[in-house]
Amino acid sequence: MFKNKTAIITGAGQGIGYGIALALVKEGCNVVVSDINQATCDKAAQDFSGMGVRALGIKCDVSNKAEVDNLVAKTIENFGQLDILVNNAGIYPFKPFGQMIEADWDRVMDVNLKSIFLCSQASINAMKAGSKIINISSIAAFVGFEGLTHYCASKGGVSSFTRALALELAPKKININAVAPGAVDTPGATGSSSEEVKKQTVAAIPLGRMGLAEDIANAVVFLASEKADYIVGQTIIVDGGWTLR
């Protein structure tokens, strides 16, 4: 599906980002794996290089403009093109609102929201008509979670940003959409959760199971494909029905 195309996936060293990169690779896409740790990037890129595509790992703090500009420049230097950008990198440090300090708020906004501004702006000048940007939002853009006011605000911003930028990019035939995951079973999200907490989470999901990285990846692959050419500025919720209650 994506033969001879190149994608950047941020936060792709593990978890959902890794799953997204893997799904794109399985469809023949060359990938640039970006994460905060170079060793993690290299390991993932090595995994994917053995699957018949070209893969490159580039360390990048997505909240830093110089590093983001370098990420895109290195992608063009090595692959000659950029067709798909998946803005996946994000953090979700729990902190009661009353105990939250300005630095807590700023860090979440920088990684979760400012990064999407920086990565998208750096990428669009390198993109041709038919290119796709997919932002990873969250059901936290639609429902509240205690201890995550900064995270909820940032993800609400992601969905709003997606709608607004879609209007500017549509005339250039560059599509931007978002995917909003619910509870996903990844080491970062559930690795430290007790079995009781996991049971309570599953009980809130109509489908009766946690999401998997591949569930999110499947939605991203669809939005990155030609089959989604007429979908513009939307956020697709992938949560097993959680937000329907």
Q: Distance (Å, rounded) from C-alpha 141 to C-alpha 135?
A: 12
Catalytic residue annotation = 151
CB 59 within 8 A of CB 41: yes
User: Residue with structure tokens 């703090």?
Assistant: 61
Output phi, psi for 87, to 5 deg.
Answer: -85, 90
H-helix or E-strand spanning residue 219: helix 213-224
Cβ-proximal residues to 126 (8 Å cutoff; 6+ apart), any chain: 72, 75, 76, 81, 82
Which residues share a beta bridge with 235?
Answer: 178
